[in-house]
Amino acid sequence: MDTVTIINALVSGLLTGLVYGLSALGLSVIFGVIRIVNFAHGELMVLGMFMALLLFRWFGLDPLMAVPIGAAVLFAIGYALQHFVVRRVSYLPDHMQFLLLAGIAIMLVSGCLVIFGPDAQGVQLDYALDSFAIGNLIIDKVRLYAAIAAVAVASALLAFFKYSSTGRAIRACADNYLGAKVVGLNVDRLYALTFGIGAACIGAAGCIILLLVQVHPYLAPAYTLLAFVVVIVGGMGSLFGALLGGMLIGVSEELASVVLQPSMKTAFSFALLIVVLLLRPQGLLGRVAR
Amino acid sequence: MNDLTPFGRAALLAFAALLLAVPWIASGYVLSVSIICLYLAYMGQAWNLMLGFAGLLSIGHALFVGLGAYTSGYLFTKLGVPPAVGVVAAVAVAMAMGSIIGYLGFRFAIGGVYFALLTIAFSEFVRILLDHAKFLGGTEGMFLPVSQESRRGVDLVNLRGSTEMYYYVILALAAGAFLMCRALLNGRVGYYWRAIRDNPEAAEAVGVDIFRFRMYAVLLSSGMAGVAGVFYAFYYNNLFPEQVLGIERSIEVTLAPIVGGVGTLFGPIFGAFILTPMGELLTEAVEGFKQSGLIAKNVKTDGVKLMFWGLAVALIVLLKPKGLWPWVCERLRLVKPPGQRG
């Protein structure tokens, strides 16, 4: 095990981790504002991946160019999901809401299974095997592009929350639900928007990650769990935490697969999740748990 | 029994008689579907004990089933220990895992949905470990030896015999679980559990040791799942980590109690007997449509069944969050109204 291999693994883990982070951002936004644990997270992501796959097959569209379309469609799905379904169960205890989303997750993943079949399918890009070399350091072109796209979308999201009035209104809802209602914000609409924005993040991440992995329906539960790991490690509801958690998990997965075995890398993430849940349940950057 | 109306009592007796008579009146296919029904009813009871009684959501029950299955399977194949003895070890291992999760979860005050995530994390972690455990077969699977002649007759010590025997074993387990939960729910523990479920702070304030009673719920539930694991191992005779411990298995366990009614005694049984036959009918219908060309041949039949199950859960949570059983009870007047109970 030489240093170059380790550094290469570090860099590639960091880049992949940024895409994980973007996806986890979607989970974090939804949880941070609506206080709903979106158990259908990975399923929405796989939906985005399949959409990018179809766009590539039908029109030869690069998955990176499919990001706006994937994000827009997932935004609509997320908005509708909150407006027509999730909103109606807000009076139920947390675990019932969780189970509702689990039911939706099963429907989505088995729908994908019925339509697309169980086999892994990917896109063949002409630059798929290209890479940049900086000294001994080798960076895959696709991985770098994916990371840049993920950072671009994440920055757009952060800017939206920081500077736009709608973004500020959504933050107001998250900070003080009653106060937001008192000052006349349309909380129901803002919640639906938030779910839509979260889902759009997930859709964008789905399109981007198709550059790196082949898609099949059973990825969905794995991505749900991965996003939970990322968000819990980074801190539920903290947006920078999600990105940081993503990079951390990306690096630890990559290192685990170099040092141990590739198939052990997820076990490593779950072990990390258990440790963080026990020692710092609010996550690395999270505020003290509610 | 005392709470039942005469009609309810008759319905219960008729249902019990029907269950006992199934092997006499039904063919091999119906019998094996009935076994799945009863298995899910039993597991539903175990899962419901945690969420419905004590308010603890687990999405990791396949872990306890898997530990029970692998423990008894390993003892049988490698050391020749019969399952009648192996079940003790299986329950012990499942309960040990339950106590680890429970201890960590409750001591570190991991509440609500986070506790569910802890159960998922442990379950997935162990599944990946089993994938790499060569001595347990790893991804190639563990196979329990079974001979043609052992498929006849009854050998309860080795859990080998006809399909009818497996049916009665799982029927006895499901009935036993039902009676045990009924006794627990009507006893002191049941009241403590429900107090903890409805308001942990208030329960603690009046002196209920919530840590201890939550642990009881987890231990009992994981032990029951461990027994189910032994049945699973010796009924199917092959174990793959992906199939036994996959998260789909953990979710499958939750379906029957959710549809029947979380927190009700008969709900898990009712849910299992609604969902499983409907799933089978749907499978038959899809296969039929495929034959007649209405649906493309390459459509995964399993996917359609799962879609139906997902839809069922979503609709139940949306429309009847208390489950179908309380509603059926009221409609058919199976239970006396609260005022008229002796």
pLDDT digits (tens, 9 = 90+) for A67-107: 999 999 999 999 999 999 988 888 888 888 888 998 999 89
DSSP states of B175-233: HHHHHHHHHHHHSHHHHHHHHHHH-HHHHHHTT--HHHHHHHHHHHHHHHHHHHHHHHH
pLDDT value of position A255? 85
B51 reaches A (C-beta below 8 A): yes
pLDDT value of position B43? 96
Cα–Cα distance measured from residue B58 to residue B64, given in angstroms and rounded to the nearest whole number: 11
Token duo for residue B113: 């949905």
Query: Taking residues B124-137, what's their average pLDDT?
Result: 88
Question: Mean pLDDT score of chain A, rounded to an integer?
Answer: 86
What's chain A's Rg over C-alpha atoms? 19
Cα–Cα distance measured from residue B256 to residue B269, given in angstroms and rounded to the nearest whole number: 7
Q: Residue B129's closest chain A neighbor by CA?
A: A267
Query: Taking residues B160-175, what's their average pLDDT?
Result: 92
Cβ–Cβ under 8 Å, residues A285 and A234: yes
Cα–Cα distance measured from residue A235 to residue B201, given in angstroms and rounded to the nearest whole number: 26
Domain boundaries, chain A: 3-279
Q: Does the ipTM exceed 0.95?
A: no
- pLDDT band, residue B1 (cuts 50/70/90): low
What is the residue type of B176? G
Q: How far is B164 from chain A (nearest CA, A)?
A: 33
pLDDT value of position B338? 66
Contact at CB, A114 and B299, closer than 8 angstroms: yes
Q: Is B2 helix (H, G, I), strand (E, B) or coil?
A: coil
Scored b (16 or more CB within 10 A) or e, A22-32 reads: bbbbbbbbbbb
Mean pLDDT highest for which of A193-207, B283-297, B326-340? A193-207
- pLDDT band, residue A283 (cuts 50/70/90): low
Cβ–Cβ under 8 Å, residues A100 and A86: yes
- pLDDT band, residue B98 (cuts 50/70/90): very high
- pLDDT band, residue B341 (cuts 50/70/90): low
- Quick: pLDDT tens for A218-248: 888 888 888 888 888 887 777 888 888 899 8
pLDDT value of position A125? 81
Contact at CB, A106 and B303, closer than 8 angstroms: no
- Quick: pLDDT tens for A101-159: 989 998 998 898 888 888 888 888 877 778 887 877 888 888 888 999 999 999 999 99
Cβ–Cβ under 8 Å, residues B255 and B310: no
Long-range Cβ contact pairs of A88-94 (< 8 A, separation 24 or more): A88/B318, A89/B317, A89/B318, A89/B321, A92/B317, A92/B321, A94/A37, A94/B112, A94/B113
What's chain B's Rg over C-alpha atoms? 20
Q: Which of B50, B130, B295, B318 to mutate to test the interface with A (most CBs of A within 10 A)?
A: B318
Question: Mean pLDDT score of chain B, rounded to an integer?
Answer: 89
10 Å CB burial of residue B148 (0-12, 13-18, 19+) is: exposed
* Interface residue ranges in chain A relative to chain B, Cβ cutoff 8 Å: 37, 85, 88-89, 92, 94-100, 102-111, 113-114, 117-118, 221, 225, 228-229, 232, 261, 263-264, 266-267, 270-271, 273-274, 277-278, 281
Q: What percentage of chain A exceeds 70 in pLDDT? A: 96
Q: Does position B110 have pLDDT exceeding 50, yes or no?
A: yes
Q: Does position B162 have pLDDT exceeding 90, yes or no?
A: no
β-bridge pairing B154-155 and B160-161: antiparallel
pLDDT value of position B178? 95
Token duo for residue A230: 């990322």
Give start and end residues of each alpha helix (H) in chain A: 3-34, 41-59, 67-80, 94-116, 141-163, 165-175, 177-182, 187-209, 219-234, 239-259, 265-279
Q: Does position B342 have pLDDT exceeding 60, yes or no?
A: no
Q: Residue B57's closest chain A neighbor by CA?
A: A95
Q: What is the DSSP letter of A264?
A: G
Cα–Cα distance measured from residue B102 to residue A1, given in angstroms and rounded to the nearest whole number: 39
Q: Which of A94, A101, A107, A119 to mutate to test the interface with B (most CBs of B within 10 A)?
A: A107
pLDDT value of position A284? 62
Q: What are phi and psi of B238, to 5 degrees?
A: -140, 140
pLDDT value of position A288? 46
Query: Taking residues A40-52, what's their average pLDDT?
Result: 94
Chain B residues 148-207 with a CB less than 8 Å from chain A: none
Q: What percentage of chain B exceeds 90 in pLDDT? A: 51
B103 reaches A (C-beta below 8 A): no
Query: Taking residues A245-255, what's their average pLDDT?
Result: 88
Cα–Cα distance measured from residue B34 to residue B198, given in angstroms and rounded to the nearest whole number: 35
- pLDDT band, residue A290 (cuts 50/70/90): very low
**Residues with Cβ < 8 Å from B140, sequence gap 6 or more?**
none
Residue B133: CB atoms within 10 Å = 16
pLDDT value of position B82? 92
Contact at CB, B310 and A267, closer than 8 angstroms: no
Q: Which of A92, A95, A106 sits opposite B310 (nearest CB)?
A: A106
Q: Does position B114 have pLDDT exceeding 90, yes or no?
A: no
Contact at CB, A113 and B300, closer than 8 angstroms: yes
Cα–Cα distance measured from residue A114 to residue B241, given in angstroms and rounded to the nearest whole number: 24
Ranking A13-27, B89-103, B150-164, B285-299 by mean pLDDT, the lowest is B285-299
Fold of A3-279: ABC transporter involved in vitamin B12 uptake, BtuC (1.10.3470)
Contact at CB, A270 and B124, closer than 8 angstroms: yes
Token duo for residue B169: 């074993």
Q: How far is A137 from chain B (nearest CA, A)?
A: 31
**Strand partners of residue B239:** B142
